[in-house]
Amino acid sequence: MTAAVRYELIKTCKQSGARLGKLHTPHGVIETPVFMPVGTLATVKTMSPEELKEIGAGIILSNTYHLWLRPGHEIVREAGGLHQFMNWDRAILTDSGGFQVFSLSDLREITEEGVHFRNHLSGEKLFLSPEGAMEIQNALGSDIMMAFDECPPYPAEFEYMKASVERTTRWAERCLNAHKRPEDQALFGIVQGGEYEELRKLSAESLVSLDFPGYAIGGLSVGEPKDIMNRVLEFTTPLLPQNKPRYLMGVGSPDSLIDGAIRGVDMFDCVLPTRIARNGTCMTSKGRLVVRNAKYAHDYRPLDEHCDCYACKNYSRAYIRHLVKCNETFGFRLTSYHNLYFLVNLMEQVKQAIREDRLLDFRNEFFEQYGFNKPDAKNF
Ligand SMILES: [Zn+2]
């Protein structure tokens, strides 16, 4: 059977080893490396699907856990699936709910069968298993679904992590067996193992033997220093098949997108650009800009003088600062639009640099301009 999602490697950057590719999905072809905006509750906060298309987003992520609680996956199924429900005809990836179960709820109990926990909204007792996560994602009808995994906190002891990795592999197999729509939904496995090379190897090898159409690298960007994340990527991506996509979960700061691509990652997602936008923080070609700050009160320049997005073409820092300070929705729309445009555009530049075999040079230029090379560099 042909997989619902297929990865085509176009070229490898001679300077960095980064991959330029195409992801063929039932809802369009996406060039990679790609950044996927996050639409937690079937909406990328403040953005319409038309605006997402205008920006150039070809795939977005939505959260299984949140849609399971509200409005409930049966309502989405009844609507004809998530694409129909939210009026988005491009690709959608759903996570498994695992990360939220582990990060949002306390009082959880992990058993071989699944996880018992309390609903973070109502306190009601709930249970999620690999089979449950598949049933919900089959109802949502996303193009890419994720296997239900355990995402242990950082740092975790080796012995705990080993037991967790082994259970995550058993759960991945159960996910494959429970998946009802492999012809139009691709199920990705998630490599875990924390910072331990031996465990990443164990996880990757056992998942690769199950032959998923794609692989995610989970358990990163959970509080570990960036050099640890980069080191884990360096020894993990070579364990994954060349002809399948690799997805680094929960990563969206500009430097990490470039550093991930250099280490052979094809897909990224993060709430970062939209979350900080609602705080009045912007990503610009010169670094982080907190438009809320008093120094922008009389600044009539755009958020980013090198950006040609809708927000930058039409509105000033002073105006956006005023809106954000007054909690005006339009202000958050403008900062969200700009930040997403910035990351989508950054990935365009990364792809161009791969085409020209100069991604390491591009990294140096970008880091220099962004200010990452300065001792007082502010990251996200
Ligand atoms: Zn802009």
pLDDT (tens digit per residue) in 142-184? 999 999 999 898 999 999 999 999 999 999 999 999 999 999 9
Give strand pairing partners of 28. Answer: 25
Report CA(302)–ligand 1 centroid distance (Å).
Answer: 7
Clarify whether 95 is annotated catalytic.
yes
User: Residue 1: its pLDDT value, please?
Assistant: 62
Whether 378 shows a pLDDT value over 80: the answer reads: no
The fraction of the chain above a pLDDT of 90, given in percent, is 91
In the reported structure, the alpha carbon of residue 371 is separated from the centroid of ligand 1 by a whole-number distance in angstroms of 18
Over residues 44-72, the mean pLDDT reads 97
**C-alpha torsion 281→287→293→297, nearest 10:** -110
248: enclosing H helix or E strand? strand 246-248
- Ligand 1 centroid–CA 355 distance in Å is 25
CA of 207 to the centre of ligand 1 (A): 40
269 assigned to active site: yes
Determine which one of 95, 143, 259, 266 is catalytic.
Answer: 95
Q: Check whether the bond before 71 is cis (ω within 30° of 0).
A: yes
At residue 102 the predicted structure's pLDDT band, cuts being 50, 70 and 90, is confident
Phi and psi, residue 152, nearest 5° = -70, 155
Can you give the pLDDT at residue 374? 79
Residue that the structure tokens 């090898």 belong to:
205
Lay out the sheet containing 28-32: strands in order across.
6-12, 19-25, 28-32
Q: How far is the CA of 359 from the centre of ligand 1 (A)?
A: 23
Please pick, among 227, 269, 357, 361, the residue that the annotation labels catalytic: 269
